[in-house]
Structure 1
Amino acid sequence: MSTTRGPVIPTVTRPTSVAGAARNLVDDGARPRAGGTDIAACVEVGVTAPGPLVDLLDVPELRGVRWADDGSARIGAMTTVAELGADPLLAGAFPGLTATARALATPQIRGTATVGGNLLQRNRCTYLRNPAFDCFQTGGDSCPARTGDHLRGVVVDQGPCVAPHPSSLAVALLAYDASAVVVAGPGAGDEAERGLAELYDGSDPTRDHVLAPGDLLVAVALPRPVPGERAAHLRMAGRSRAEWPLVEVVARLECAEEGRGPVTRASVAVGGVARTPLRLPGLERALVGSVPGEALDEGVERALEGIADLCSPLPATGYKVHLLRDTVRDVLEDALESPRR
């Protein structure tokens, strides 16, 4: 049993530019703090190691939405979830993303939590957040949840840790082929884009994202929106408010004839089921040709049943196999306005 973790009061710096924040992260070995809805709890119980913090609230470059001439968008990492969900231009261009933001947590949390913080938060495993236990993420050599209480754990087993990734926005952004914009080093000119999926590595049990100390997530970049998109989002949880999802699904369907014709391209992303958010490429291929207003065809139904083949449930997470399949079906029926099975 560990006795080394406990409450820590860190020092805090408050830069006013991306360059200053990046410099503090590198020079001081500090961690970034966004809205603070997660890191404060992590520091209190010792999940986050002792050390200084860089508060990003006073960096204006990290807030808001910037639009390019082609309709693509860049969303600052310090944009709040509430701002994301309430933006009418974003809702018109990326409806699955704003629907996800509006369903996340509570109004109070949405008003404080940020895009970057949601993407890079720590997982919600009760063993990680209990100072009486050690695990891979706190310097231990095992995952106590794997043989203990893992009722909310993964159903797609990617590696030693069995805590699902907690980010709802990551699911939506993955469905939109978004990129993460990262500054690696003390210079604001060192921005680099990487696919959203590249932020995570399910085989690494020691961390919830792959950014190195000193890296700063400054924005997410969304490609040009597609006319005729149909989108839907659904999260299944034990209660309707302030609960982490057991399964979460975002579907985007690009349809001919400004949304009235057959599906020409599909994107289906799922969360709450693995160490990383996932896409379902087999189902995406099967959806091409589906017609809005009609029942899901046999090919789509076969692909839905095939979701079970992707799963490797733990002893207590077998229920998620059926929950995942049925949630995906509900989302597709909502997006296509199809009759229920």
Structure 2
Amino acid sequence: MTPEPDRTDPTDLTGLADAVRARGGELRAGGTDTGARQRSGVSAGPFTDIHGAAGLHGTAALPDGGLRIGALTTLAELAADPQVRAGWPALAASAGTAATPQIRAAGTLGGNLLQRNRCWYFRNPHVSCLQKGGAGCPAREGDHHFGVVGGAGRCIIPHPSTLAMALLTYDARVEIHDEEPRSVADLYGDGDLLHRADHLLPPYRILTAVRLPAPLPGERAACHRATSRAHAEWPLVEATARLAFDGATVTHAAVAAGGVARVPLRLPEVEAALIGREGTPEALAAAAATVVARCRPLPQTGYKTTLFRDTVLEVLEQAAGATAAAQEH
């Protein structure tokens, strides 16, 4: 039976939220994830479209020098925006490397933050799992070579949001309609609670925007995705780094990783190992190696321990190299 078409006024956020409360189902923005789940039979709707909602597109400067980005801004728009590229390069770079050009043209900032995981058991309508209200995680005893390498949650599939990882390094905040702003990290919690969801936002709550703080003068950023093939592949591990230097000494470091846990991870141990030290190859390698202590691999994810360390080292080297090059010129 075809769901009744959504006729809610897309400019009325309260009406949109009330429609989801009354009808159930999900909000839909760019539709890249909801459409895929609908086609596979995992999500039946009904879907309440928010793409025409007022104030959810584009960027606006904030009085404190920060930037407000509407939740319906596409990944392609973020990657190409000169203001974002200049002031918040880690976000622009992450948006430009995510998914494929076609998905970046349709996928939105909010949709990327609130998407569902890519577990093939979850996305099979004939398989029961924790994410669909079942009693267990079939990936744990089945094929989980794309699974987590850290964390003790019942579900073992990593969160897929590349932009959440990048936003963690900026201490960004999200705006929620009819709620107080919260940190991006607060969308996900510690991961242990996420056995039936990939974020903590109720279905009827609308993420309206992301707020970035003012840029850090002289910062350099890098992101890297380790994949099993060159194009159109979800990362096995990915990382983002922001560094600032005073001469050769690291004065600021913000590092995060994805593909390794149920939530995107900020890596304070890496940051602490860098700040106040010279950014030598040895120091970068030692900082990257600190992530090994948090790894508790599953039988099929042992390879991710080394890959996690190496991916973090790659972004640190890229960011430090970009800083050195900028100082030389």
* C-alpha distance after superposition, 1:143-178 (max 9, x if no partner): 000110001010013301011000100100011111
Aligned to 2:165, which of 164, 171, 174? 171
The one-letter code of the counterpart of 2:33 is D
The question of whether the paired residues in 1 share the 8 Å contact of 2:27 and 2:203 is answered with: no
TM-score by length of 2: 0.92
**Corresponding residue for residue 119 of structure 1:** 113
Q: Which residue of 1 aligns with 2:30?
A: 35
- Residue 27 (structure 1) shift: 3.8
Query: Mapping of 1:171-250 within 5 angstroms?
Result: 171-183=165-177, 190-201=178-189, 202-204=191-193, 205-250=195-240
Quote the residue 1:3 is aligned against: none
CA–CA distance in structure 2, aligned partners of residues 329 and 135 of structure 1? 35
CA distance in 2, matches of 1:103, 1:253: 20
1-structure distance, mates of 2:186, 2:7: 29
Determine helix, strand or coil for the equivalent of 1:163: coil
1:252 is aligned, of 236, 242, 265, to 242
The code of the aligned residue for 1:273 comes to V
Mapped pair 1:144 → 2:161: no
Q: State the distance in 2 between where 1:180 and 1:23 align.
A: 21
Percent identity reads 49
Q: CA deviation at 1:210?
A: 0.4
Secondary structure (helix, strand or coil) at the match of 2:55 reads helix
Q: Is the CA contact (8 Å cut-off) linking 1:13 and 1:53 kept in structure 2? A: no
Take 1:137 and 1:10, find their aligned partners in 2: how far apart are those partners?
Answer: 26
C-alpha separation in 2, matches of 1:248 and 1:83: 21
- Residue 10 of structure 1, CA deviation: 5.7
Question: Residue 295 in 1 paired to residue 281 in 2?
Answer: yes
Match of 1:275 in 2: 262
Is 2:18 aligned against 1:23?
yes
Q: Which amino acid aligns with 1:334?
A: Q
Match for 1:264 among 243, 248, 251?
251
TM-aligned CA deviation for residue 261 of structure 1 = 4.8
Give the number of aligned pairs. 320
Amino acid at match of 1:86: A
- Matched to 1:120, the amino acid is L
Structure 1 residue runs of 5 or longer lacking an equivalent are 1-6, 184-189
2: CA distance, partners of 1:11 / 1:207: 26
Q: Determine the C-alpha separation between the residues in 1 that align with 2:5 and 2:264.
A: 33
State how far apart, in whole Å, the 2-side matches of 1:320 and 1:47 are: 29
Letter in 1 for 2:220: R
Q: Name the aligned partner's letter for residue 196 of structure 1.
A: V
Q: Distance in 2 between matches of 1:67 and 1:241?
A: 34
The 1-side partners of 2:154 and 2:170 are apart by 29
Q: Note if contact 1:10-1:51 (Cα within 8 Å) is conserved in structure 2.
A: no
Measure the CA separation in 1 of the matches of 2:252 and 2:110.
Answer: 28
Query: Which shifted more, 37-46 or 17-26?
Result: 17-26
Q: Is the 8 A contact 2:69 2:209 kept in 1?
A: yes
3-state SS, counterpart of residue 44 of structure 1: helix
Instruction: Give the CA deviation at 1:283.
Output: 1.1
Give yes or no for contact 2:29–2:50 (8 Å, CA) kept in 1: yes
Q: For 1:253-280, what per-residue CA distance to the aligned partner results, in whole angstroms no more than 9, with x for missing partners?
A: 1323xxx552212110000000000011
Shift in Å at residue 85 of structure 1? Answer: 0.4
Cα distance in 2 for partners of 1:44, 1:233 equals 32
Letter in 1 for 2:281: A
Q: Is 1:66 the equivalent of 2:60?
A: yes
Partner of 2:327: none
Q: In structure 2, give the amino acid aligned to 1:228.
A: G
Q: Decide whether the 8 Å contact of 1:157 with 1:313 is kept in 2.
A: no
1:40-70 CA-to-partner distances (Å, cap 9, x unmatched) read 121233322x442211111131101111132
CA RMSD of aligned residues (A): 1.8
